[in-house]
Chain A
Amino acid sequence: MGSTGKIIRKKDLNIWQKSYIPEIVKGLRQTITEMFKPKFTIQYPEERFKPQPSFRGRPVLVQENEVERCVACGLCSRVCPALAIEVQASETELEKERYPIKFEINMVRCIFCGFCEEVCPEEAIVMSNEYELVFSSQEEAVFGKDKLLMTTEHLKDRLEFLRQNR
């Protein structure tokens, strides 16, 4: 409703178009066809979202032949922008010579950026496809080695993805 000047149109509408009816009918047809289309909703507790390999879930330590790959170099801890990772190294008889005696990720601090995975020279820490993280206290949110270790079979998709895209 411009108060000054004439409204300029590229094309003048005829009276049938001005009556607004054809556009309403078009809109109604659209709405009604939408009604019968398949639904996007995933009904959570029964159905679960299966993430793609590119999904960044909670970071885990790769476990190969019953031991973790990690050599406790501390790069992940250094690169972590949220200061969520704490590593303490120790010596071992194995070929890799060093291993983390303590490896903790504070999942309340973690921002799922994946920097730790990117920086890791041993491909020892990767982002899994797990996204259901529930804690009832701050202490419970600190994941130790017991919760972080995950076998290579479980991480097959992610490791394959990393190999192809890095």
Chain B
Amino acid sequence: MESLLLISLIKFVAYVSVVLVSVIMLVYAERRVSAFIQNRIGPNRVGPWGLFQALVDVVKLLLKEDIVPKNAYKPIHDLAPVISIAVALSTFAVVPFGNTIELFGNQVKLMIADVNVGILYLLSITSLGVYGVTLAGWSSNNKYSLLGGLRSSAQLISYELSMGLSIIGVLMVCGTLRLDQIVLHQTTYLGGWLPAWNIFLQPVAFITFFIAAFAETNRLPFDLPEAEPELVGGYHTEYTGLKFGLFFLAEYANMFTAGAVITTLFLGGWHLPYAEYLGLSPTMLSILQVLTFCVKLVLVELFFIVVRWTIPRFRYDQLMNIGWKVMLPLTLVNVLVTGAVILLIH
């Protein structure tokens, strides 16, 4: 029991530090890749290749003055960024980043919390994230902030539905809510050669989930809550210093988590195809698997960034149109077809 507690503690500390550093690195990666796409160089002055740029930015945000507008509702104005960052950080807890390993005679699962309703936990926590944004918009007492917050809540509600429904397809295929079991289900092979990743079994669910993930993380093409040309800064217009930094961090942590969830649910998680035939020692294999997870995650994040500079922002009515008239029917049909096929097979 004591060792279990110790392992959890170690995992937790490692997790928080790794996620925070990766999120900061993600900010750097975004700036660098964006620059490359626009034929610029991007931040390259602080440290080797500018790697410490994002770190320095965090220090800058910490040192800045914290301004609260006179007519803002202070308690909620303070609370909103905390909600955002707490939600963003806690979602990653259920994502498995490696197979179960044997460590000092203990079976250690490479995930923080082994929740038996992993996916439900994920969905419920991400939908809490909207409170941070909406409360921030409302408590700032600024029309642009309020509009950003309203847009965010409307957008998240519409896209949460199709997100949940597209996950149902995956659940039907895998027959479990545990994320580690879902990954294990994907380690088999279809027809002996094609890895049974859910992207091949559930392509429609993959696409709808991916689109919904863009909307959930407020990324372009669905970044209406903070559409700069229309709403100044959107819900965080009235935030400065550390509190703005928390929103910023939460945004990228959300993106990070979305990438991890997509990897887990659709891209086979830590599964490296055919690696189990290489005859590696269990330790080597699990290191390889964790690395595989990281590489997949980085690729998904890169895709997020590239899409940002490819597709322009949708208009608000178009956003709602896609959410309710395209995504929702599509996911419903996907669930129906999946059910029918599963019935036929059994």
Contacts and interface: CB of A to CB of B under 8 A. Distances in A.
A31 B309 contact: yes
A39 B40 contact: yes
A38 B40 CA distance: 9
7 tightest A-B contacts by CB? Answer: A27-B310, A41-B41, A31-B310, A35-B36, A40-B39, A34-B37, A39-B41
Contacts of B309: 31
A24 interface: yes
Contacts of A35: 33, 36-37, 306
Interface string B20-43: 000000000000010011111100
Interface of A: 1, 24, 27-28, 30-32, 34-41, 43
Contact of A32 (B38, B41, B306, B311): B306
B2 interface: no
Contacts of A30: 310
B39 A31 contact: no
B317 interface: yes
Contacts of A41: 40-41
A28 B33 contact: no
A27 B39 contact: no
A39 B310 CA distance: 19
A68 to B, nearest CB: 43
A30 B38 CA distance: 11
B68 interface: no
Interface string B280-324: 000000000000000000000000001101110000011001000
5 contacts: A24-B310, A27-B310, A30-B310, A35-B36, A35-B306
Contact of A40 (B37, B40, B318): B40
A3 B18 CA distance: 51
Contacts of B307: 28
A28 B310 contact: yes
Nearest to A36: B36
A32 B311 CA distance: 13
B33 A1 contact: no
B168 to A, nearest CB: 22
A49 B137 CA distance: 45
Given A37-B39, A39-B40, A31 B317 contact: no
A27 B36 CA distance: 16
A39 B37 contact: no
A137 to B, nearest CB: 30
A119 B286 CA distance: 79
A30 B39 CA distance: 12
B306 A28 contact: yes
A109 B307 CA distance: 47
Contacts of A38: 39
A1 to B, nearest CB: 5
Contacts of A32: 306
Contacts of B33: 35
A33 to B, nearest CB: 10
Given A32-B306, A34-B38, 15 more contacts: A1-B318, A1-B321, A24-B310, A28-B310, A30-B310, A31-B37, A31-B309, A31-B310, A34-B37, A35-B37, A35-B306, A36-B36, A41-B40, A41-B41, A43-B41
Contacts of A31: 37, 306, 309-310
A35 B306 CA distance: 9
Contacts of A27: 310-311
Contacts of A34: 36-39
Nearest to B317: A1
A30 B321 CA distance: 27
A30 B318 CA distance: 24
A1 B319 CA distance: 12
A36 to B, nearest CB: 8
A82 B33 CA distance: 45
A63 B40 CA distance: 41
Interface in B249-290: none
A89 B306 CA distance: 65
